[in-house]
Amino acid sequence: MNLTLRVWRQSGPGSEGSFKTYEAKDVSPDASFFEMLDELNERLNDQGIEPIAFDSDCREGICGTCGVMVDGNPHGPQSGTATCQLHMRKFNDGDTITVEPWRALAFPVLKDLVVDRTPFDKIIQAGGYISVNIGAAQDANAIPVPKPAAESAMDAAACIGCAACVAACPNSAANLFTAAKLAHMNLLPQGQPERYLRTTAMVETMESFFGSCRNYGECETACPKSISIDVIAWMNRDYVAAQWKNLRKHGQQA
C-alpha cells in the first residue's frame, strides 16, 4: 500500500516545529506502524534527510516507551493497542496519516515525536510505592489477598505509563495514570499502612504538573491497557478521606 504521511518535525526543545509531508511507498499491510516509519527513515537517510526521531523500545506494547498521535488519536485508531502494536492493515491504500507527538504542556517536545514525560516519574517518587526495605519481608503466604482484590489490583497495575491518557485529555490531566497506581496499591492489604499519605502525596504532585479532571473519559478510550476510569473515583474518595486529618495520620480506613 502507498501512504502519505504528515509528520511533526522539530529539531530541539526550544525550536519551532512544523508538519512535513512524506510518501511511504509499498508498505506491507503486515508491517507495524513503526516498521513503516523505520523504512521511511531508511529512505530519508539515503536521501540525506535526517530520520524522524521517535521513542520506541520493546515493540510488544508493554514498556510504555512509545506513543504518538495518529490522526489525532493517541496510539492510533485501534482501541486497547499501543502504537508499536498497531499494524498497517488497519489503514487503507492511499490514506493520508497525520503523526504528532503527545500534546501536553507538562510534556515538552524534545525532538520530532519525542517528548519528556519526567513528571510521571515524579508522581511515583512522591508515593507510588510500598515502603518495605529489602530483606524485611515476611513469608509471602502470610498475607492472604482475596482473589477479586488481587485481580482488580492487577487490572490497575497493568498501566504501562505511556501517557496516552494525558495526551487524550482536553485538560491534559494525569488522573488515570495516578489513580491506576493508587488503585493497585490501595486495593492490596500490603498497601494499607500508607494508603492516605500515599494518596495525598501523589495527588498533590500530580496537580503541580497537570490539568484537572472533568470526567470526559477520553483517557479510558485512549488507554492501550483499557484501564477503567473507575480508578479515578476510588482515588477521589481516598483523597477526600485523606483530608480527615486523623485518618491520614493513623492510616485508618475511612
Return the residues of window 193-252 that contact another protein according to CB under 8 A.
none
Give CA–CA dist 75/228, Å, rounded.
17
Give phi and psi for 247, each to the nearest 5: -60, -45
Nearer to another protein, 21 or 118 (CB): 118
Beta carbon of residue 140, minimum distance to another protein (angstroms, whole number): 4
Beta carbon of residue 229, minimum distance to another protein (angstroms, whole number): 20
Q: Which of residues 55-74 bind another protein (CB under 8 A)?
A: 55-65
The three-state (H, E, C) secondary structure of the chain, written as one string: CCEEEEEEEECCCCCCEEEEEEEECCCCCCCEHHHHHHHHHHHHHHCCCCCCCCCCCCCCCCCCCCCCEECCEECCCCCCCCHHHCEHHHCCCCCEEEEECCCCCCCCEEECCEECCHHHHHHHHHHCCCCCCCCCCCCHHHCCCCHHHHHHHHHHHCCCCCCHHHHHCCCCECHHHHHHHHHHHHCCHHHCCCHHHHHHHHHHHHHHHCECCCCCCHHHHHCCCCCCCHHHHHHHHHHHHHCCHHHHHHCCCC
How many CB atoms are closer than 10 A to CB 203? Answer: 21
Binding window for another protein (CB under 8 A); candidates: 148-156, 170-178, 213-221, 244-252: 148-156
Give CA–CA dist 9/100, Å, rounded.
9
- For 95, the grid coordinates are 490514506
Binding window for another protein (CB under 8 A); candidates: 53-61, 207-215, 229-237, 242-250: 53-61
One residue of 2, 23, 50, 92 binding another protein per CB under 8 A: 50
Q: Which of residues 2-31 bind another protein (CB under 8 A)?
A: 11-13, 28, 30-31
Binding window for another protein (CB under 8 A); candidates: 165-173, 183-191, 210-218, 238-246: 183-191
Nearer to another protein, 2 or 215 (CB): 2
Nearer to another protein, 80 or 251 (CB): 80
Beta carbon of residue 79, minimum distance to another protein (angstroms, whole number): 11
Give CA–CA dist 48/126, Å, rounded.
45
Nearer to another protein, 203 or 215 (CB): 203
One residue of 21, 79, 92, 131 binding another protein per CB under 8 A: 131
Give the per-residue contact string, 158-177, with another protein (x = CB under 8 A; - = no): x-xx----------------
Answer yes or no whether residue 157 interacts with another protein by CB under 8 A: yes
Give the per-residue contact string, 94-123, with another protein (x = CB under 8 A; - = no): ----------------xx--x-xxx-xx--
Nearer to another protein, 32 or 73 (CB): 32
Beta carbon of residue 40, minimum distance to another protein (angstroms, whole number): 11
